[in-house]
Amino acid sequence: MKKPSINTSKGFLFNKKYKVSVWASQVPYAEIPDEYFEETFSKNNTRARNSWSDNFKMRYFDPEAMETNGSHEGLVDIKQAIGECSFSKSFIEPLMSKATKKNLLKVSWVILLFEYEYSSKLSGVEKDDYVTLVGAFNYDDEADSLFEVEADESDFDDEL
């Protein structure tokens, strides 16, 4: 049974198991103000808000369920950016289809929010000055990785 998204004066709640919502940017990372990412925490640091979540009318997000990746300079292939931080190929085909339609095959960075089914139809917001919603996709964390995972986790220090 689908848990309804709740709209409050503070924003929407889109929490949903086995879903991942993905946003992508073509704006150079260095051109985005620090304030866009500065988080305000509540509830034992398990809930966060920032300019990004406010722009998309989200009540809050779980920072532990968020992954970001990209390039500090230039654009990278969205499939590479997603594959390096999702570790599941379960949603790559529908994501690539939507990215193609939205002309987001080359990106500066991506945001993945797991256990979250963001809906621009409900919120009325599909993009802001920095990122565009690619979509919300079914996610299977038991699926194979899109790319071979290195044994050394220090390789993941390049995340944004």
Q: Please spell the DSSP secondary structure of 6-61, one letter per residue.
A: EEETTEEE-EEEEEEEEEEE-S-GGGS-GGGT--EEETTTTEEE-HHHHHTTBS-B
In this structure, what is the dihedral angle of CA atoms 92, 141, 72, 95, given to the nearest 10 degrees? 20
Alpha carbon 33 to its chain centroid, in Å, reads: 18
Please write the tens of the pLDDT for every residue from 82-110.
Answer: 988 877 788 999 999 999 999 999 999 99
Task: Determine the Cα–Cα distance for residues 118 and 61; give it in Å rounded to an integer.
Answer: 11
Task: Determine the Cα–Cα distance for residues 15 and 7; give it in Å rounded to an integer.
Answer: 12
Query: Residue 6 has what pLDDT?
Result: 59
Task: Determine the Cα–Cα distance for residues 153 and 160; give it in Å rounded to an integer.
Answer: 15
Query: Residue 136 has what pLDDT?
Result: 97
- Average pLDDT on 49-69 reads 94
Contact 52, 131 (CB under 8 A): yes
Query: Residue 88 has what pLDDT?
Result: 79
Q: Would you kindly state where each structural domain of the chain is located, as residue ranges? A: 12-32+64-144
Query: Within a 10 A sphere around the Cβ of 10, how many other Cβ atoms?
Result: 12
Indicate the residue type of 83: G
Task: Determine the Cα–Cα distance for residues 132 and 125; give it in Å rounded to an integer.
Answer: 9
Query: Residue 21 has what pLDDT?
Result: 97
Query: Residue 8 has what pLDDT?
Result: 59
Query: Residue 14 has what pLDDT?
Result: 94
Contact 24, 134 (CB under 8 A): yes
Indicate whether 156 pLDDT > 50.
Answer: no
